[in-house]
C-alpha cells in the first residue's frame, strides 16, 4: 500500500487551480500500477504494465472521471504536454505512464517506521524529456521517532552510571 504525496510543486501547478482536474490527477495516481505486472484486457489480451503505468481505455477513464471521452483525451494530452505523463493510444487500450511516479507516491513504511541509520531505496525514474528510464539509488534519512530519542537518552544515562 502507498500514500500520495502532495508536493509544493504540485500546489503551484495548473492542476491545483482546477479542483476537478486535480481530482482526476489523484485518481490516475491511484489507478497506476504500484508493482509491475500483467493486466488482462476485456478481450482476454494480456498486457505488461510497469510501475507507474495505467492500462485503460478512454471510455473507462471517461466513466471514472464522470465526463466525456473528449474531455478525458484532452486531459491526458494536457498532462503529456506539461510532461506529467506520457501516453500511447492503441486499438484496444491506452497506456498512460506517470512521469516521476515515485515522487508522487510514498510507501506506507515511510510514514510508520523511522530507521536509526536512514533508509535506502532503489527507484526507477522516468525522465519525460527523453522517455528514458534510469535507475538511481536514493538515500532517505528519516528523523528519529520520539520513542527512539527517549531510548537513546535512556541508554546515555545508563552508560554514564
Query: Where does a domain end: 62, 81, 103?
Result: 103
Which cell is 30 given? 491511484
What H or E segment, with its residue span, contains residue 149?
Answer: helix 146-160
Contact 124, 134 (CB under 8 A): yes
- Quick check: 117 pLDDT over 70? no
Query: Where does a domain end: 55, 86, 103?
Result: 103
pLDDT at 130: 34
The count of C-alpha atoms lying within 13 angstroms of the C-alpha of 159, restricted to the half-sphere facing its C-beta, is 6
State the pLDDT confidence band at 102, using cuts at 50, 70 and 90: confident
Q: Are residues 126 and 89 in the same domain?
A: no
Q: Are residues 99 and 124 in the same domain?
A: no
- For 66, the domain range is 2-103
For residue 15, what is the domain's CATH number? 1.10.10.10
Q: Are residues 129 and 57 in the same domain?
A: no
Q: Are residues 33 and 71 in the same domain?
A: yes
Domain count of the fold of the chain:
2
Q: Which residue has 466525456 as its cell numbers?
A: 68
pLDDT at 146: 53
Q: What is the largest CA-CA distance in the chain?
A: 74
Amino acid at each position: 500500500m502507498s500514500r500520495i504525496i502532495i508536493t509544493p510543486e504540485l500546489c503551484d501547478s495548473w492542476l491545483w487551480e482546477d479542483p476537478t482536474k486535480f481530482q482526476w490527477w489523484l485518481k490516475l495516481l491511484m489507478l497506476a500500477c504500484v508493482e509491475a505486472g500483467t493486466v488482462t484486457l476485456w478481450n482476454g489480451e494480456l498486457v505488461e504494465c510497469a510501475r507507474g503505468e495505467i492500462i485503460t481505455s478512454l471510455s473507462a477513464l471517461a466513466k471514472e472521471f464522470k465526463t466525456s471521452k473528449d474531455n478525458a483525451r484532452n486531459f491526458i494530452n494536457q498532462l503529456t504536454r506539461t510532461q506529467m505523463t506520457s501516453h500511447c493510444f492503441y486499438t484496444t487500450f491506452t497506456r498512460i505512464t506517470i512521469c516521476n511516479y515515485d515522487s508522487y507516491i510514498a510507501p506506507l513504511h515511510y510514514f510508520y517506521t523511522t530507521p536509526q541509520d536512514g533508509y535506502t531505496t532503489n527507484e526507477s525514474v522516468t525522465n519525460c524529456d527523453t522517455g528514458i528510464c534510469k535507475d538511481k539509488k536514493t538515500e532517505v534519512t528519516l528523523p528519529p521517532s520520539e520513542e527512539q530519542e527517549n531510548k537513546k537518552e535512556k541508554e546515555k544515562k545508563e552508560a554514564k552510571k
